[in-house]
């Protein structure tokens, strides 16, 4: 029932994290104590509490599915709690001067990345949404952008939404070479590295 990307992430988690830890145990040998140890060992490896919680949630979902399919009488994860993520930081919102400075630096040093960054700042779209944005999703006449589910990808909430297309953003997008209507607008070669920088 997951999207392709979610399925791939889960598969990677099972292969790289879960099996090395619990692969020698039978399902019936997985106890609340073992799950607590799973969390603690990941913390000792320097994994962030929020990531450990994601790992635990996936582990828990697998155990719940084992109960549903009749492989376990009950899930040992029921009495195990998620970590308290006390180090959660509030998001930092850029001031208008910071936005102008960021765009100026980007235009000067990474001009190919500029349209993507400008679109992100003008719309508030997530990286995954920008990655899957197609020309057919941009309506220049109605001045709007559609963010909707696609065959191999879905929005975070599975709900489509419409974002206003400003005159300046329309100009930035119009300056790009438009390809096939169903092709992604932005090329994502090395974009993740640039995004993180």
pLDDT tens-digit readout, 30-66: 999 999 999 999 999 999 898 999 999 999 999 999 9
**Continuous segment of H or E residues that includes residue 138:** strand 138-139
Burial (CB count <10 Å: 0-12, 13-18, 19+), residue 63: buried
* 76 touches 63 (CB < 8 A): yes
Instruction: With CA atoms as reference, report the closest residue to 82 among 54, 44, 42, 113.
Output: 54
**Continuous segment of H or E residues that includes residue 140:** none
Where residue 195 falls among pLDDT bands split at 50, 70, 90?
A: low
pLDDT tens-digit readout, 134-174: 999 999 999 999 999 888 888 888 889 999 999 999 999 99
Alpha-carbon span 71 to 62, nearest angstrom: 11
CA distances from 46 to 13, 14, 32 (A): 16, 19, 22
pLDDT tens-digit readout, 62-90: 999 999 999 999 999 999 999 986 566 66
> How many residues can be counted in the chain?
197
Instruction: With CA atoms as reference, report the closest residue to 87 among 32, 124, 45, 43.
Output: 43
pLDDT of residue 157: 82
pLDDT of residue 44: 92
- Beta-bridge mates of residue 161: 147
């Amino acid at each position: 029932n997951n999207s392709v990307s979610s399925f791939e992430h889960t598969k990677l988690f099972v292969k790289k994290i879960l099996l090395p830890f619990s692969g020698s145990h039978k399902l019936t040998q997985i106890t609340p104590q073992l799950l607590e140890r799973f969390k603690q060992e990941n913390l000792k490896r320097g994994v962030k509490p929020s990531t450990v919680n994601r790992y635990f949630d996936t582990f828990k979902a697998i155990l719940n599915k084992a109960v549903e399919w009749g492989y376990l009488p009950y899930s040992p994860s029921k009495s195990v709690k998620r970590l308290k993520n006390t180090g959660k930081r509030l998001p930092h919102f850029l001031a208008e001067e910071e936005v102008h400075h960021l765009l100026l630096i980007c235009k000067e040093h990474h001009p190919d990345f500029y349209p993507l960054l400008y679109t992100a700042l003008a719309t508030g779209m997530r990286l995954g949404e920008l990655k899957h944005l197609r020309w057919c999703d941009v309506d220049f006449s109605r001045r709007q952008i559609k963010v909707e589910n696609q065959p191999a990808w879905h929005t975070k909430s599975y709900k489509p939404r419409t974002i206003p297309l400003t005159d300046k953003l329309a100009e930035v997008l119009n300056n790009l070479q438009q390809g096939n209507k169903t092709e992604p607008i932005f090329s994502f070669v090395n974009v993740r590295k640039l995004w993180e920088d």
